[in-house]
Structure 1
């Protein structure tokens, strides 16, 4: 299960994409931009959650 230490970085890629998407929508005047920022925030949260969970399992 060595792939688990790399899958956490997918969340950072998602966060960057949704931040970019939110900024583009904000500049265009589209009303869907808050959802993009919420998803980006959740992706950042999941990155840190998975990182902590992975480190906790290594200590045991």
Structure 2
């Protein structure tokens, strides 16, 4: 179960990296990198989705 929690936070790290990439490209070139922005949003969504899913599994195991 600890491995699942590791991947949950890996999604959060990837989201931060992609958001940093979007901001740095925007500051240098003045263009918005849509692909990185979408990847950051997807990684952030997956973090919250996995967090909720893991909580459901933990509650199921407790019962």
TM range (shorter): 0.7 to 0.9
Q: Of the two, which has the highest radius of gyration? A: 2
Q: Give me the TM-score of the superposition, normalised by structure 1.
A: 0.86
Gaps of 5+ in 2: none
Gaps of 5+ in 1: none
**CA positional deviation for 1:30:** 6.5
Give CA deviations for 1:3-59 in whole Å, capped at 9, x if unaligned.
112210001110110011011111222756111111101000000000000000111
- Please report the RMSD computed on the Cα atoms of aligned residues, expressed in angstroms: 1.5
Q: Give me the TM-score of the superposition, normalised by structure 2.
A: 0.82
What is residue 39 of structure 2 aligned with on the other side?
39
* 1:44-59 mapped onto 2 (5 Å cutoff): 44-59=44-59
Aligned residue-pair number: 60
**The residue matched to 2:2 in structure 1 has which SS?**
coil
